[in-house]
A and B are shown apart, each in its own frame.
Chain A
């Protein structure tokens, strides 16, 4: 009897370890590839200069245009998505009845939107732009990426808010507070670590997406300076660089990928630190 349980235990443990290994191994493999291929081409020039020397994406100079462009676009889109997601999830969790059809439908839509490929968002953003008479620009890119990450952001926040104990709301209401006061002063604080994490995950997703910005933000060699002008982004830079037939430009593509990975890496660390800082007051 004891043996059978022990064997079961071991089989499942092996299975879990294998799964973990697949995930960590793949990640490590990607990182190693990018490093090996990209590190030689990575130089200070790449980080602080705009492209020079022809081939559209540049044989010389750097990718500062894409780095700055991605950061500006990512921050803009995250900010816009946050302005929409926060009220949405608070509405769903505090103002609407738990089992209402409305809440069920909204969550269902968000889940569906989450699964839609980003190229579809790109196409939709493009249609919207044409309709509004806009040209490919930073603004159009921000709006499209915001649309792309709103489902991700709001569903992650929603899951965080759902986990907040009912008793906490009850305690706040029992002192005579309104829903808004409960939302802002109590629930928000309790959910803050989760909200920060959700926001930064969405940022990471937004900054790494190429298809959504392909038609909407276009690409340019100059630094971002106007909301209404095209802007360069790292994923597209990588896409173009890797797509050229020139090995030295391809190598720079791997260097760009390394930079993008580095940015996402930094954001993840930042997310951890912030969310740890905010979780001090949180009730467990």
Chain B
């Protein structure tokens, strides 16, 4: 992937109580690009997004391991000032939550706590960001009435304006258009397209067409595992792995049936292919072999070779700090080593 990295996630795992919700995620999120996180409900998209500004710390009984580097700095370092971090990483929550104050005060809440006092400047901020979120015309005559009277879709746009008003460097949007009609949604999408020239944007979306329209880069999560990531074209049009393909095609995601397992941990790399070939000979066409190898490099090497041999690689995922699990579907009428 060309371009600079803005957020670099390394071995990130998140646990709620004993349950592991994110499993050794490692990924680089590019600077000034729009990255979409997709995946079925409950796969950990919100959790991943919330770990980018440490709002996840608020949850009871949560444990985070691994690193998230923003501009090269580990945000889980105890020295980090979380209020600065959260200003920098503007998070738009999945459920829009307005504050118990007027529309005007909702928008200026962020700028005010970060020290803007000038009335004129605040007025300007309100007008500017309400226009950005497409709410200005609807509320310009009742800026000082309670925000709780707005409709849900209006509240969502108000939250967008409020989030942008703190002038973050990164925008983390958790389904920011979920409560909007197609036309309002498109207007917001347009804003995101404009914003990405200045900001790094990460969006969670359930809408694949939206991902196609907006994203430069796509991350696909499934049950807490990072299944696939890459440029939007590659992931959305030409997915490499089975689960991504099923999800993109709107099919039910199934765990493939595994016929044999092979543990190559501690085996010299040069022996990998010999042993794999040996095991593959014992299974029939289209049956699946599960292989565990150590180190990312070996995993990639192995994957490449398997594809070269004409087999199909259904899945490559990290299962802990060192180990990678791969699912290989045997394809006959290919020559073996």
Contacts and interface: CB of A to CB of B under 8 A. Distances in A.
Interface of A: 97-99, 165-178, 181, 185-186, 189-190, 280-284
Sorting the interface of chain B by its residue count into under 10, 10 to 19, 20 to 34 or 35 or more gives: 20 to 34
Contacts of B87: 175-176
B110 A189 contact: no
Contacts of A99: 60
Contact of A176 (B113, B146, B148): B113
B101 interface: yes
A183 B133 CA distance: 28
A176 B86 contact: yes
A139 B232 CA distance: 73
A177 B82 CA distance: 9
B299 interface: no
B93 A174 contact: yes
Given A176-B86, A177-B83, A282 B114 contact: no
Contacts of B166: 175-176
A99 B59 CA distance: 11
B258 interface: no
B148 A174 contact: no
Nearest to A282: B100
B134 to A, nearest CB: 20
Nearest to B94: A167
B241 interface: no
A176 B84 contact: yes
A174 B55 contact: yes
Contacts of B229: none
B78 to A, nearest CB: 17
B86 A168 contact: no
A170 B97 contact: yes
Interface of B: 53, 55, 58, 60, 83-87, 90-91, 93, 95, 97-102, 109-110, 113-114, 146-148, 159, 162-163, 166
Contacts of B146: 280-281
B93 A170 contact: yes
Contacts of A165: 97
A186 B99 contact: yes
Contact of B86 (A98, A166, A174, A283): A174
Contact of A283 (B98, B109, B113, B159): B98
Contact of B110 (A169, A175, A190, A283): A175
Nearest to B81: A176
A283 B106 CA distance: 12
A174 B53 contact: yes
A171 B100 contact: no
12 contacts: A167-B97, A170-B93, A171-B93, A174-B90, A174-B163, A175-B86, A175-B87, A175-B110, A175-B163, A176-B86, A176-B87, A281-B102
B141 to A, nearest CB: 18
Contact of A172 (B84, B90, B99, B163): B99
A10 B91 CA distance: 52
B93 A167 contact: yes
Contact of A171 (B99, B114, B148): B99
Contacts of B85: 176
Nearest to A166: B58
A178 B82 CA distance: 9
A98 to B, nearest CB: 5
Given A169-B58, A175-B162, A177-B113, A186 B91 contact: no
Report which residue of B98, B113, B147 has the largest number of chain A beta carbons within 10 angstroms of its beta carbon: B113
A80 B93 CA distance: 39
